[in-house]
């Protein structure tokens, strides 16, 4: 697994390709992240690198979090994440991870919290078809029968029904990197990524 980076979604726009096509893109402020801990198989049972992103107020930290960061004389970083990597010798605590770790044309996986759409019905949530709209039908958007009759006389768990839609952790795979701005720490990705502007994202190079 390759080491990734944290970022904040700025918004969406469009760029024009060499052939003149308008391509929808998402702009992300990615990093810089700091290496906060190196884990080894001898001490922790596995090899991994922990990185931190986004400084925050001192009052929002608990003592174990403060001790973990102050031990290595690091700033108070709000978000921490791990990446299991075998060769950890090339990294050091306090090292910066920036957008320069990526290349134009690479495919990345972007993970974040999707847009919350509230309580939604079957058509919107599970893409069900609606009922007939004519001939006296009164079942337009209703779910219809939801379970068997007398036997077993209950609704099986996992039945696709109306409920909360969105607002969950989701990943968009194989998103192409179209642009990199190392001065402003910006990544330009083709297409859409989860969440609204200001959403925290985790970006990892696809295998």
Q: Which among 16, 1, 62, 3 is positioned nearest to 188, based on CA atoms?
A: 16
What's the pLDDT band for 164 if we cut at 50, 70, 90?
very high
Inform me whether the pLDDT recorded for 105 exceeds 80: yes
What's the pLDDT band for 166 if we cut at 50, 70, 90?
very high
- The percent of residues in the chain predicted with pLDDT above 90, rounded, is 39
Sheet holding 96-97, edge to edge: 77-83, 48-55, 33-39, 96-97
Inform me whether the pLDDT recorded for 143 exceeds 90: no
Q: Give the per-residue pLDDT at 1.
A: 59
Q: Which domains does the chain have, with CATH numbers?
A: 5-115+169-205 (3.30.160.810), 116-140+160-167 (no CATH)
Instruction: Compute the Cα dihedral for 179, 7, 114, 82 and give only its sign.
Output: positive
Q: Give the per-residue pLDDT at 53.
A: 87
Contact between 110 and 172 (Cβ < 8 Å): yes
Task: Report the alpha-carbon distance of residue 131 to residue 88 in Å, rounded.
Answer: 58
The pair of three-digit structure tokens given for residue 52, joined into one six-digit string: 């931190």
For range 164-169, the mean pLDDT: 93
Task: Report the alpha-carbon distance of residue 174 to residue 205 in Å, rounded.
Answer: 8
What's the pLDDT band for 203 if we cut at 50, 70, 90?
very high
Q: Is 140 left (phi over 0), alpha (psi -120 to 50) or beta?
A: alpha
């Amino acid at each position: 697994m390759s080491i990734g980076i944290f970022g904040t979604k700025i918004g969406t726009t469009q760029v024009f390709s060499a052939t003149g096509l308008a391509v929808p893109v998402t702009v992300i402020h990615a990093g810089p992240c700091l290496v906060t801990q190196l884990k080894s198989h001898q001490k922790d049972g596995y090899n991994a690198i922990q990185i931190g992103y986004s400084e925050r107020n001192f009052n929002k930290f608990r003592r174990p979090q403060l001790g973990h960061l102050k031990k290595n004389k690091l700033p108070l970083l709000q978000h921490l994440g791990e990446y299991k990597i075998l060769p950890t010798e090339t990294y050091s605590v306090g090292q910066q991870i920036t957008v320069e770790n990526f290349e134009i044309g690479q495919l990345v996986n972007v993970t974040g919290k999707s847009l919350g759409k509230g309580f939604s019905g079957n058509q919107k949530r599970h893409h069900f078809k609606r009922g007939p709209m004519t001939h006296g039908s009164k079942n337009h958007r209703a779910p219809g029968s939801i379970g068997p009759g007398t036997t077993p006389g209950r609704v099986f768990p996992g039945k696709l029904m109306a409920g909360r839609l969105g607002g969950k952790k989701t990943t968009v795979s194989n998103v192409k990197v179209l642009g990199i701005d190392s001065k402003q720490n910006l990544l330009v990705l083709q297409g859409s990524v989860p969440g609204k502007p200001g959403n925290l994202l985790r970006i990892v190079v696809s295998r």
